[in-house]
A and B are shown apart, each in its own frame.
Chain A
Amino acid sequence: MTDSTISAIMPKPITGPLIWLRANLFANPFNILMTVLVVWFLAMSLPALLDWVLLDAVFQANNVRECRAAGSGACWAFIGEKHRLILFGLYPYDEQWRPMLVVLLLIAMVGVSCLRRFWTKWLAPMWVATLMIVGVLMWGGVLGLTYVENARWGGLPLTMILAFVAIAVAFPLGVLLALGRRSNLPAIRAICTIYIELVRGVPAVSLLFMASVMLPLLLPEGMSIDKLLRAQIALIVYASAYLAEVVRGGLQSLSKGQYEAADALGLTYWQKQRLIILPQALRITIPPLVNTLITVFKDTSLVVIIGLYDLMNAAKASFVDPAWRGSSIEAYVFVSLIYFAFCFFMSKYSQSIEKRLAKSQNR
């Protein structure tokens, strides 16, 4: 038989838009019902949303009264007026190029760190250098930059710094806690278990409250730990306990054979963990790990309750202005887009890592 006769006998591949529609949207009665409902819902909501976001929105106005008179949609003029307060909080207005640079620098470094070709021994020193530059830019006081105390930091750079430092410190701490909880040494096991259970047993809000309200009363007069540092420590404590439990899940899922094989090779405890156990445990736990990291990023907004002007609190401060009262929806939409961008990136990146690691697994 020739090739042409084979292709004549073979059934034609079933493709085309109509067939796709039938397979995916109208496969069975329940599917048809869902499709109709979803289309109906979109038809009802999308035009109104589009009107609000774009067609009836107002982009130029001096106050909320002008805004509402000019159109029934969103008052984006409010964001135009307040975006610097929302993005940079109480940072001195004329110096706000500095936090702007910090945000760009941190985003660029995250981008670089995500690319595999930069995974060299230079990555860690580069991060140290970046953080030093971030410190210089934010605090100033050298190189002709005016000094800005960290009580005035705010907005997006504060959120990013709180989240990045919390994740960076809490991750190794969490791994150690997880190992400690599975340790054979009873004292270490008890300490790690108590720490994890205590921290996990209370809401993050109460940790922040303890750090900001109780701690100053317990310290001797005149000695005060910086408010930002207190919040940062509370976030680290909180994140490390959760990360520890995630990592412990990974450790427990490994078969006993892995541990025994490592022991049989004569590896020390730390060699065993570093070379055999952790690489496998961490790979398994990527989805819950990223889940926790996203939670930590969003939980930085809880510092609202101790009066730090992170992205969320700065947004709240922006619509207190009586000239713009009632613009809270615009402010919340604006900051939620920023939060979404960061969290969506984290989620997408973790999926790509999973895929890559799965490839090596299936080899």
Chain B
Amino acid sequence: MKYRYLAAILGAACGTLAALPALAGPTLDAVKARGEIVCGVNTGVAGFSAPDSRGEWKGIDVDICRATAAALFGDAKKVKYVGLTAAQRFTALQSGEVDVLSRNTTGTLTRDTSLGLNFIAPNFYDGQGFIVAKKLGVKSAKDLGGATVCVQQGTTTELNMADYGRANKIAFKPVVIEKVEETVATFFSGRCDAYTADASALASVRSTAASNPDDYVILPEIISKEPLGPMVRHGDDQWFDLVKWSFMAMLEAEEYGITTANVDEMLKSNDPNVKRILGVTEGMGKALGTSEKWAYNIVKQVGNYGESFDRNVGANSPLKLDRGLNALWTKGGLMYGWPIR
């Protein structure tokens, strides 16, 4: 008898624990009452989210939170940033410590379902690639048969390369090294023919660690999928909508050529799409539960997606990443803003 009570109590406790994320009160109301968004970001990845010399957060993940704040409050500064490690990130979102997790996180099925989270949309498509010295004359990863490849130990990178080699009958000779800095140093010292890691990491390594970046080339093959993007927790669809459409507005603004510089002129545009985005034709803000100027504020204060990309990771940043998969769909990429209407 005693044990049955004990079991019941334990069961109830576990049930409460599991149900906690679902019980979360409407996030949007809490955010509005607080007057600022609590945004979980990476403690420091160049171009995605990192504090600058003045301690201000910068990066494309940070811009998602700034855009949402601009849409909701009309002020991109109304964000409180919480630096999260990989181990903390999901708990912080589940427990309500942060309202949105924008921390270069890959969307996967289990995260979207059993972790109780909702993946919004990829704001950066990453994937594993290869970098080689230009003087080798290699044009494709398929030419790397018998090549020595520097790779970091214990990562999915190592497994992805093995899978790719087996599938395409390429015999790589992996040089497995424990630390990422050592791996990079080993590659640039000439010990390996190629180095494999996420493509964005390769580009940043080339621009910063190589003595002459033009001596190296990143091969076109991408051998894994890493759609990185923001997440919210289950239980508040309106909040999900707001974060999602704040990001969509950045994509649509780029597609229709609306930038921070020309957004005021664009208010006079005759294009019905532009009119709807900028709130000249009313109705969109009402549907989202924000002011009609929501997207105007995003573009004015944060910029469109292309501006955010160039400023943080692209041509105007030290990382100098190509748009690649992250170009708009009209320019051969995967970035596809949904119609704002």
Q: Shortest beta-carbon distance, B207 to chain A, in Å?
A: 7
Q: Verify B53–A307 contact, CB threshold 8 A.
A: no
Is B270 among interface residues, defined by CB-CB distance under 8 A? no
Q: Verify A321–B95 contact, CB threshold 8 A.
A: no
Contact of A321 among B50, B85, B97 (CB under 8 A): B50
The answer to whether A316 and B85 touch (CB under 8 A), given A90-B55, A326-B209, is: no
Is B84 among interface residues, defined by CB-CB distance under 8 A? yes
Q: Which B142-183 residues sit within 8 Å CB-CB of chain A?
A: 181
Contact of A209 among B44, B47, B87, B97 (CB under 8 A): B87
Q: What residues of chain A lie closer than 8 Å to B50, measured between beta carbons?
A: 317, 320-321
A63 and B96 alpha carbons, distance in the complex (Å): 39
A322 and B209 alpha carbons, distance in the complex (Å): 10
A209 and B96 alpha carbons, distance in the complex (Å): 17
A221 and B96 alpha carbons, distance in the complex (Å): 7
* Max count, chain A CB within 10 A of own CB: residue among B53, B57, B97, B317: B53
Q: Which residue of A lies closest to B313 (CB)?
A: A322
Is B54 among interface residues, defined by CB-CB distance under 8 A? yes
Q: Which residue of A lies closest to B16 (CB)?
A: A220
Q: Verify A217–B17 contact, CB threshold 8 A.
A: yes
Q: Verify B55–A322 contact, CB threshold 8 A.
A: no
Q: Verify B83–A307 contact, CB threshold 8 A.
A: yes
Q: Which residue of B lies closest to A305 (CB)?
A: B85
Q: What residues of chain A lie closer than 8 Å to B53, measured between beta carbons?
A: 81-82, 84-85, 318, 321
Q: What residues of chain B lie closer than 8 Å to A34, measured between beta carbons?
A: none
Q: Verify B25–A221 contact, CB threshold 8 A.
A: yes
Is B46 among interface residues, defined by CB-CB distance under 8 A? yes
Q: Shortest beta-carbon distance, B30 to chain A, in Å?
A: 8
A289 and B51 alpha carbons, distance in the complex (Å): 37
Q: What residues of chain A lie closer than 8 Å to B54, measured between beta carbons?
A: 84-85, 93
Q: Verify B85–A306 contact, CB threshold 8 A.
A: yes
Q: Shortest beta-carbon distance, A21 to chain B, in Å?
A: 43
Q: What residues of chain B lie closer than 8 Å to A82, measured between beta carbons?
A: 53
Is A300 among interface residues, defined by CB-CB distance under 8 A? no
Q: Verify A322–B319 contact, CB threshold 8 A.
A: yes
Q: Verify A63–B318 contact, CB threshold 8 A.
A: yes
Interface of A is mostly: helix
A91 and B83 alpha carbons, distance in the complex (Å): 14
The answer to whether A149 and B80 touch (CB under 8 A), given A317-B50, A322-B207, is: yes
Is A89 among interface residues, defined by CB-CB distance under 8 A? yes
Q: Which A189-207 residues sit within 8 Å CB-CB of chain B?
A: none
Contact of B318 among A85, A305, A323 (CB under 8 A): A323
Q: What residues of chain A lie closer than 8 Å to B81, measured between beta carbons?
A: 90, 151
B35-56 interface bits toward A, Cβ cutoff 8 Å, 1 = contact, 0 = none: 0000000011111001111111
Q: Verify B208–A322 contact, CB threshold 8 A.
A: yes
Q: What residues of chain A lie closer than 8 Å to B267, measured between beta carbons?
A: none
Q: Shortest beta-carbon distance, A82 to chain B, in Å?
A: 6
Contact of A85 among B51, B94, B96 (CB under 8 A): B51
Q: What residues of chain B lie closer than 8 Å to A323, measured between beta carbons?
A: 318
* Max count, chain A CB within 10 A of own CB: residue among B43, B50, B85: B43
Is A355 among interface residues, defined by CB-CB distance under 8 A? no
Q: Which residue of B lies closest to A219 (CB)?
A: B95
Is A232 among interface residues, defined by CB-CB distance under 8 A? no
Q: What residues of chain B lie closer than 8 Å to A322, measured between beta carbons?
A: 46-47, 204, 207-208, 317-319
A222-252 interface bits toward B, Cβ cutoff 8 Å, 1 = contact, 0 = none: 1010010000000000000000000000000
Is B315 among interface residues, defined by CB-CB distance under 8 A? no
17 contacts between A and B (CB under 8 A): A63-B318, A84-B54, A84-B55, A85-B54, A93-B55, A151-B80, A154-B55, A217-B94, A218-B17, A305-B85, A306-B88, A316-B44, A320-B44, A321-B50, A321-B52, A325-B204, A325-B209
Q: Give me the interface of A with B, judged by CB distance under 8 Å.
A: 63-64, 81-82, 84-85, 88-93, 149, 151-152, 154, 209, 212-213, 216-219, 221-222, 224, 227, 305-309, 313, 316-318, 320-323, 325-326, 328
Q: Give me the interface of B with A, judged by CB distance under 8 Å.
A: 17, 20, 23-25, 43-47, 50-57, 80-85, 87-88, 91-92, 94-97, 181, 204, 207-209, 317-319
A63-B318, A305-B87, A323-B318 are known contacts; what are 9 more A-B pairs with Cβ within 8 Å?
A84-B54, A92-B55, A93-B54, A151-B80, A219-B95, A313-B43, A316-B44, A317-B43, A322-B207
